[in-house]
Structure 1
Amino acid sequence: MSDVFRELQKQLDQYSVGFPATKSGVEIEILKHLFSPSQAEMFLDLSLLPEEASSVASRTGRDPAQTAEMLADMAAKGLIFRLRKNDKVFYAASAFVVGIYEFQLKTMDEKFAALVERYFDEGFSLTDTVTIPMRTIPVNQSLDVSFPVASHDDAREILKSQKKLAVAQCICRKQQDLVGHTCDKPREVCMVFGSHADYFVENGLARFIDLEEGLKILDTAEKGGLVNQPFNVINPGGMCNCCGCCCGVLRTLNRLPKPAEMVLTNHYAEVDPETCTGCETCLSRCQIAAITMKDDVALVNRDRCIGCGLCVTTCPTGAITLKPVDQEALRTPPAGVRDLMMQIAAERGTSVMPLKMQGK
């Protein structure tokens, strides 16, 4: 008989950036920490497409009442996603990142934090895909209005387009706190929108906010030196504000020699050597180690720069500006999460269709 937790790992490895196996098996420890065997079995019967409990029960031959109860419990524990629409409740499988991991904000403890840290060192990778779940957009104050900027590249415009906003504590900073790597960056800065906001608030992970507070949070994030990272779609379900020392994505990118190749960004920083005074303020602002000093002048490594603009807003002489990439290099993110998941799956050679439904 196959191990249900190994089957669950294989299924999660199909979604987003994956959930690959490790030599130590720490990924199985993580799954056993989160799921019971029966919950793992239920997850294997779900897909990324939201479905009512009655439909899941009918399709899988389960008892309708028990199915509804288990799905509701799993959604409350952050093991699956829940969507409420027209007085109906729908449930769907979720990727580990972005998804199940972030849903553990309320229950993150020292044991889980330590397991995640081990997995980050042994298993987490971004190198088998050219598209990642998050993208980088410039902090608003760094944008040059003389260049046209798409609304999906403008953090403030993204917030203004949302009907429902909520803010949560950063789970990455909480996880790092628990493994003894505390940083001094702001904490309540990660925002979720629409149905994701509903899910986070209902699960006690976030609180609703209005647009005015959302814009103030962006200001706080910029002053704190945090990178705007919305979901990598035109209509994102959320936006993180990340630091290079705690964020799983930025920590992974920092390990790469050319992180700019992995990030969908339409901007880059450029230094005017004539006006740079060599104050080195930009070195600490950069979360990706893209700036060095040469002959007392700041030098931007285009292979590392992800175009966040944090260096621009605090340059005392205005020597650093944010430039748009060449027209032929401009990239538009996928329209929605389903398109993103399908694109990543195609690049990784996986499928968004559950393995069980494929007969595997």
Structure 2
Amino acid sequence: MDERTRTASRSYQQLIERINRFPQGAPACELLERILRILFSEREAALVAQLPLRPFAPAKAAAVWRVSETEARRQLEELAARAILVDLEHDGDTWYFLPPPMAGFFEFSLMRVRPDLDQEALSRLFFEYLNVRQEFIEELFARGETKLGRVFVNETALAPELTAQVLDYERASEVIRGASHIAVGLCYCRNKMAHLGRGCSAPLDNCMTFNKVARSLIKNGSARQVEAAEGLDLLQQARQLNLVQCGDNVQREVNFICHCCGCCCEAMLALRRLAIPHQQYSTNFQARIDPARCNGCGNCLKYCPVEAITLEKGEVQTGGKAAARLFKELCLGCGVCVGNCPRRALSLEARPERIVTPVNAAHRVVLMAIERGTLQHLIFDNQALFSHRAMAAIFGAILRLGPVQRLMASRQLKSRFLERIMQDVEITDFSK
């Protein structure tokens, strides 16, 4: 390997290290570097690797990169135009941040037609990295209690007496109505599968982004702006096609809702493959089967996106009649099965305990960081300073303690630092 190749590889390795300081990272491997080489030039990789984790102003980037603020702003705008960075307006100023890979710059790369990218080659790399290998998906869906996304319940599948239990932030329709900006782009998952010849018949142009992030994507041509009426029409169409609404795991300022199919969606595929309890990803409801009504037709099996229902042969004394069986720990509570049961043997019921949804993106990121042992990177964000590197190492050691000691330390960290980080909530929008 010559010196130029070693230097280039070093830039991408530094970028990978930067990505993995965030609570939701991406396991390092040769495949990831190949993906990043398509998305970032060598120079861009070196520059982005130096950026803070939290949102920053152009003056901060200029100081880190040791260039003029004019040059820093030009570079930041170029990266935002390609949806590598997200630019946010706050009090008349523009702030930037690097979103995580998912939901973030991985998805943004396929949310529109991009002649500047080999999207077919990128799709193949994404498929191998996310669908063939286990590490990234396990990191995203199986690690920690706090999840990046959650499922929205289909209110039309609920009995009237249960609809009063659904809070506004749990309703996709209310998220759409209350958004300051609504953007629609191509579904990353189905677009990727289409490039591989594995696509399905579900619509491509229905991936929704909201609020400040939507404003950035609209401004930079990464998605088209729509009004609430069209957003609600797309939601109704998706429900009629038995697509599941998966979105931002926050109560305030929900940033995205995807309309997911069981055959292409990264989340649905991962949840089936990992076969882990889905409670933290699900709604506050779960399916219930009425055995007196069920005739064992198996229709519900075809529509459940995570295979939480099986068909079992009955006892001899009942004539061997088959019946549907629900695995409650795997149920998402999406309600798709309810609308597809010809005998009305399926309904939704409230879970025994409500699932706690983080208040906003900053709250969720801090919780994820504490659970994953990466809070030190959020607190001591400037890795260029020796004092920050030293303190980050100390906090890292605390978070690698045994379970009991780690629990005690985590509680202290939550009480002392969560409030401080939450002070930046208006501009600290870490998610897609």
- TM-score of the pair, normalised by structure 1: 0.92
* 2:125 paired residue number: 115
* 1:228 paired residue number: 245
Q: Contact 2:18–2:50 (CA<8 Å) still a contact in 1?
A: no
Q: Which amino acid aligns with 1:335?
A: V
Q: Does 1:314 align with 2:340?
A: yes
Q: Does 1:277 align with 2:299?
A: no
User: CA deviation digits over 1:79-118, x for unaligned, max 9?
Assistant: 1111134443211121111111121123361111011111
Q: Point out the more displaced range, 254-263 or 292-301.
A: 254-263
1:42: Cα distance to partner? 2.1
- Specify which of 272, 275, 300 is matched with residue 326 of structure 2: 300
User: CA deviation digits over 1:19-61, x for unaligned, max 9?
Assistant: 0123xx1111111111122212221232243222123213553
Q: Does 1:50 align with 2:74?
A: no
Q: Point out the more displaced range, 123-132 or 292-301.
A: 123-132
- Specify which of 325, 349, 353 is matched with residue 373 of structure 2: 349
- Rounded Cα–Cα distance in structure 1 between residues aligned with 2:281 and 2:60: 38
Q: Does 1:260 align with 2:265?
A: no
* 1:215 paired residue number: 232
1:249: Cα distance to partner? 1.7
**How much identity, in percent, do the aligned residues show?**
28
Structure 2: gaps (5+ residues): 1-6, 314-321, 393-432
Provide the aligned length of Structure 1 versus Structure 2.
356
- Specify which of 157, 168, 177 is matched with residue 151 of structure 1: 168
Q: Which amino acid aligns with 1:134?
A: G
For residues 33-112 of structure 1, what are the structure 2 equivalents within 5 Å? Answer: 33-104=38-109, 105-106=111-112, 107=114, 109-112=119-122
Q: Contact 1:266–1:331 (CA<8 Å) still a contact in 2?
A: yes
User: CA deviation digits over 1:93-145, x for unaligned, max 9?
Assistant: 21111111121123361111011111112232222222221101211211233
Which has the larger helix fraction? 2
Q: Which amino acid aligns with 2:36?
A: L
Cα distance 1:355–1:227, how it changes in 2: closer, same or farther (>3 A)? Answer: farther
- Rounded Cα–Cα distance in structure 2 between residues aligned with 1:150 and 1:262: 17
Q: Does 1:15 align with 2:25?
A: no
* 2:414 paired residue number: none
Q: Contact 1:132–1:263 (CA<8 Å) still a contact in 2?
A: yes
Q: Contact 1:140–1:155 (CA<8 Å) still a contact in 2?
A: no
Q: Contact 1:14–1:345 (CA<8 Å) still a contact in 2?
A: no
Q: Contact 1:134–1:231 (CA<8 Å) still a contact in 2?
A: yes
Q: Does 1:201 align with 2:218?
A: yes
What secondary structure, in the 3-state scheme, does the structure 2 residue paired with 1:310 have?
A: coil
What secondary structure, in the 3-state scheme, does the structure 2 residue paired with 1:101 have?
A: helix
Q: Point out the more displaced range, 308-317 or 41-50.
A: 41-50
Q: Which amino acid aligns with 2:269?
A: R
Cα distance 1:48–1:330, how it changes in 2: closer, same or farther (>3 A)? Answer: same
* 2:156 paired residue number: 141
What secondary structure, in the 3-state scheme, does the structure 1 residue paired with 2:129 have?
A: helix
- Rounded Cα–Cα distance in structure 1 between residues aligned with 2:160 and 2:223: 33
Q: Contact 1:163–1:194 (CA<8 Å) still a contact in 2?
A: yes
CA RMSD of aligned residues (A): 2.0
1:261: Cα distance to partner? 4.2
* 2:416 paired residue number: none
User: CA deviation digits over 1:293-343, x for unaligned, max 9?
Assistant: 1232221111211111101122222211111111xx212211111221221
1:273: Cα distance to partner? 1.0
1:269: Cα distance to partner? 0.4
Q: Contact 1:282–1:311 (CA<8 Å) still a contact in 2?
A: yes
Q: Contact 1:229–1:241 (CA<8 Å) still a contact in 2?
A: yes
Structure 1: gaps (5+ residues): none
Q: Contact 1:17–1:129 (CA<8 Å) still a contact in 2?
A: no
- Rounded Cα–Cα distance in structure 2 between residues aligned with 1:355 and 1:226: 42
- Rounded Cα–Cα distance in structure 2 between residues aligned with 1:190 and 1:58: 36
Q: Contact 1:131–1:264 (CA<8 Å) still a contact in 2?
A: no
- Rounded Cα–Cα distance in structure 1 between residues aligned with 2:372 and 2:58: 31
- Rounded Cα–Cα distance in structure 2 between residues aligned with 1:16 and 1:311: 34
Q: Does 1:249 align with 2:267?
A: yes
